[in-house]
Amino acid sequence: RFASNPDGYGPEIRARINDAKQGTVQDVLAAMAWRSSAKAIVARLFASGIDALIAPTVGGMSKTIGDEDMDLDGQRVFHRKLLASFAAPINQIGAPSIAAPVAGTGGPPVSVQLIGPMWGESRLLGVATALETTGVLGVSRPPNFFG
């Protein structure tokens, strides 16, 4: 479908598809090996008795509409790479995760990613609920600007 109508797709989707078409069999095999290794590392962490991992959800605070890049320590970085830098690897190994705002940070909400063991959605929901109940996670109602 794409080959017969590339103009039927937006520029970002076209770029993603064209990037993917550049991959080789070796690239796919390397990605599969990375995923297998990462899954084993995460499995060992959870086998040691931890309940959940916590990590940032995204690699940057805010993106300006219309600007493809974001600032990171004085460097300009393509927004998709920066925003997906923490969540994408977890998604790629298939581990369950929850993104949730940290309570009381002020300004733009800061989000953390809670990561659970494979097939550990119930455990992960329990950890998230406990953190919300104790006030670690949560949101404040925004001010009412309309009355």
Q: Which residues contact 14 (CB under 8 A, 6 or more apart)?
A: 6
Whether 104 is in a domain gets the answer yes
Residue 130 predicted with pLDDT over 90: yes
Could you tell me if 111 and 101 are in contact, meaning their C-beta atoms sit under 8 angstroms apart? Answer: yes
Q: How many CB atoms lie within 10 A of CB 79?
A: 17
pLDDT by residue (tens digit) across 29-58? Answer: 999 999 999 999 999 999 999 999 999 998
Q: What are phi and psi of 55, to 5 degrees?
A: -150, 165
Whether 122 is in a domain gets the answer yes
Whether 112 is in a domain gets the answer yes
Query: For tokens 């994408």, what's the residue?
Result: 88
- The average pLDDT across 75-80 equals 85
pTM of this structure? 0.79
Residue 113 predicted with pLDDT over 70: yes
- Look up the domain containing 49 and give its range: 6-133
Residue 147 predicted with pLDDT over 60: no
Q: Give the whole-angstrom CA distance, residue 131 versus residue 126.
A: 9
Structural domains of the chain, count: 1
